[in-house]
A = this chain, B = another copy of it.
Amino acid sequence: MATIRDVAREAGVSTATVSRVYNGSSLVTESTTQLVMEVAARLDYWPNSAARSLITNRTYTLGVVLPDLFNEFFSEIIRGIDHAARARRYQIILSCFHDDSRELIAMAKSMRGRIDGLIAMAPDAGSAKVIANISRHFPVVLLNPGFQTKDCSAVSIANYDGARALTRHLLECGHQRIAIVKGPARNVDAEERLRGYRDALSDAGVNSDPSMEILGDFRQESGEQICADILRIRPRPDAVFATNDYMAIGLQSALLAHGVRVPEDIAIAGFDDISLAGYVNPSLTTVGIDAYGLGAKAVRRWFSDSGAGGARTQQEILPARLIVRHSCGGSRIDRISEEHQSNEQSGGSS
């Protein structure tokens, strides 16, 4: 592989000149530039970014660390991150982790020297110290942290508000016994959605009932499997809030297969507004969140933080939006958390 020295020798100039050509320095004569470019093309010279970033201390790369859950929600986040990063000519290096905050810091360490900063979804509140440590090495922006932190900026989805508004909507539709299908334990989104549900119930003077809280894992199979559990509850619930759309759709499908009518016998609501939520039958009442926007905003936040005098401790919340379709009766489309609505371009996920 040709190096900058080969190009320099072949072109009869110094490596400094070649470097200047590649960095668009204005100090190089037109004819020298031409010559260097020509030789570089002939030698098929590709600059080595590792060497470059070793000396400049810039990598033009962002690390991205997400949980190992690949559904449409995550692919949209990544898409948002990728687009926003590309707009600034940054690349992203992606890693997924399972649970552990030890694993998180190992990943951050292994990225040292190859990234300028990190966009991460923290596993749980226990990782706060780890995050603090990492952000001493480079700027970090957290996605949906389940905890308060003064060590870095964060961008969140209004999980709590969304779940609460959705539950309130179910109550307003006249449902009394509302069950919930929770997400995986220790998952921050899952916890916040559960909290919103409970608070909406207690606001309405309804006691939350542990037997109405069923554990799921955010995959549609789990929604399907849970059907039996739902039908076993006595007295039978008249509505179920599945904390994501995949589970809601799995559950709805299983209920219909058991001859239970939706929404007449049992109403179903989901969360996320995945692209197919409007296309199932009955179409799914859910809470729309802007996963693309979440990713994109995190990246923009990172750039603001990294600029001169960046705050580095900004906390933003993206609004969630109640989307009323047919799986609960009703047809109202409503917006919540408008007060948090930003005026930035959302970038337009589907």
Whether, in the assembled complex, A214 has its beta carbon less than 8 Å from a beta carbon of chain B, the answer is no
CB pair A110–B91 under 8 Å, yes or no, is yes
Question: What band does the interface of chain A fall in when counting residues whose beta carbon is under 8 Å from B?
Answer: 35 or more
CB pair B112–A279 under 8 Å, yes or no, is no
CB pair A54–B48 under 8 Å, yes or no, is yes
CB pair A111–B49 under 8 Å, yes or no, is yes
Residues of B with C-beta under 8 A to A273:
none
CA–CA, A249 and B221, complex, Å:
19
Whether, in the assembled complex, A75 has its beta carbon less than 8 Å from a beta carbon of chain B, the answer is yes
Residues of B with C-beta under 8 A to A95:
82, 86, 91-92
CB pair B276–A256 under 8 Å, yes or no, is no
Residues of B with C-beta under 8 A to A71:
72, 75, 275
Residues of B with C-beta under 8 A to A94:
78, 82, 91-94
Q: In chain A, residues 230-253, which have Cβ atoms closer than 8 Å to a Cβ of chain B?
A: 246, 249-250, 252-253
Residues of B with C-beta under 8 A to A114:
49-50, 59, 61, 114
A52 and chain B: residue at smallest CB distance:
B113
Residues of B with C-beta under 8 A to A185:
none
A249 and chain B: residue at smallest CB distance:
B279
A78 and chain B: residue at smallest CB distance:
B70
Whether, in the assembled complex, A27 has its beta carbon less than 8 Å from a beta carbon of chain B, the answer is no
Residues of B with C-beta under 8 A to A220:
275-276, 279, 350
Nearest Cβ on chain B to A248's Cβ, whole angstroms: 10
CB pair A50–B53 under 8 Å, yes or no, is yes
Q: Which residue of B49, B61, B110, B249 contacts A276 across the interface (Cβ within 8 Å)?
A: B249
CB pair B86–A76 under 8 Å, yes or no, is no
Whether, in the assembled complex, A34 has its beta carbon less than 8 Å from a beta carbon of chain B, the answer is no
Nearest Cβ on chain B to A153's Cβ, whole angstroms: 21
CB pair B61–A70 under 8 Å, yes or no, is no
Most B CB contacts (10 A, CB to CB) among A59, A76, A79, A250 go to A79
CA–CA, A139 and B350, complex, Å:
35
CB pair B70–A110 under 8 Å, yes or no, is no
19 contacts between A and B (CB under 8 A): A47-B109, A47-B112, A48-B112, A48-B113, A49-B112, A50-B59, A54-B54, A61-B93, A70-B75, A70-B76, A70-B78, A70-B79, A72-B72, A86-B95, A91-B95, A91-B110, A94-B94, A246-B275, A253-B280
Which residues of chain A have a CB within 8 Å of any CB of chain B? 1, 44, 46-54, 59, 61, 68, 70-72, 74-76, 78-79, 82, 86, 91-96, 109-114, 133, 136-137, 219-221, 224, 246, 249-250, 252-253, 256, 275-276, 278-281, 350
